[in-house]
């Protein structure tokens, strides 16, 4: 039997951490759908047209070392506004969502477009400043030369592009449970997400 948890929200709100922990807690599989768009964006930086990159995406492309950089994130959000790129990635995501044993998918349009019938939908947010600080700490801890201002500007630009695009814009599904992680520790945010799933399960 499949059980799908859709987790959407803007960049660096805590989706990744929460999704991994929720998946581990329930013994579900986890798919970080942002990685798919990052891998497509990465290939366009090498000169491949975006639609061709999406249609030819393989598991190996998801293993590139620099997918987490701000540079690749910007390329990802640009290719993500192209309807044909999004269309090329739908089947893979839906197949993952239906895997037996349960699935957690995190992204921008999981509850609205990819899995509108997901058993649980969460929309994870935090203030711009809190998100930028977290992403700054994460990137600097991994040895990337970044500034707080640069990271904040990068997040705002990406959120604006993701929210304003015509196809599958970032927005909460009508029936999503909102989790604002601004004032929460990681453990509190995870507990809030698990409690929301427990209400349905
Ligand atoms: O989640 P992450 O920051 O890795 O996503 C990178 C970019 O991929 C986002 O800024 C967004 O443009 C795009 N994306 C998307 N739909 C998803 C997941 C990510 O458009 N489901």
Distance in Å, CA 170 to ligand 1 centroid: 9
Domains along the chain?
Answer: 4-200 (3.40.50.300)
Mean pLDDT within 78-106: 97
Q: What is the ipTM of this complex?
A: 0.99
Residue 183: the pLDDT is: 95
Q: Is 8 in the pocket of ligand 1 (CB under 6 A)?
A: no
Query: Is the pLDDT assigned to residue 172 strictly greater than 90?
Result: yes
Q: Is 14 in the pocket of ligand 1 (CB under 6 A)?
A: no
Q: Which residues, other chains included, contact 6 with Cβ-Cβ below 8 Å and sequence gap of 6+? A: 105, 106, 110, 111, 114, 115, 118, 120, 121, 122, 173, 176
Per-residue pLDDT reduced to its tens digit, 110-120? 999 999 999 99
Distance in Å, CA 112 to ligand 1 centroid: 14
Q: Is 41 in the pocket of ligand 1 (CB under 6 A)?
A: no
Query: Is the pLDDT assigned to residue 1 strictly greater than 80?
Result: no
């Amino acid at each position: 039997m499949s059980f799908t948890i859709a987790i959407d929200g803007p960049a660096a709100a805590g989706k990744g951490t929460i999704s991994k922990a929720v998946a581990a807690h329930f013994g579900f599989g986890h798919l970080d759908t942002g990685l798919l768009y990052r891998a497509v964006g990465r290939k366009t930086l090498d000169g491949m047209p975006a639609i061709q990159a999406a249609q030819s995406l393989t598991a190996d492309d998801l293993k590139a070392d620099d997918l987490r950089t701000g540079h690749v994130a910007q390329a990802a959000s640009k290719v993500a506004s192209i309807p044909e790129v999004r269309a090329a990635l739908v089947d893979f995501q839906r197949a993952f969502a239906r895997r037996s044993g349960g699935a957690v998918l995190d992204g921008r349009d999981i509850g609205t477009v990819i899995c509108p019938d997901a058993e649980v939908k969460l929309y994870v947010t935090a203030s711009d400043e809190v998100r930028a600080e977290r992403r700054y700490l994460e990137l600097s801890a991994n040895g990337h030369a970044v500034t707080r201002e640069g990271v904040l500007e990068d997040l705002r630009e990406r959120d604006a592009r993701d929210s304003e695009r015509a196809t599958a814009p970032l927005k909460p599904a009508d029936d999503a449970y909102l989790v604002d992680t601004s004032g929460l520790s990681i453990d509190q945010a995870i507990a809030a997400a698990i409690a929301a799933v427990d209400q349905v399960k």
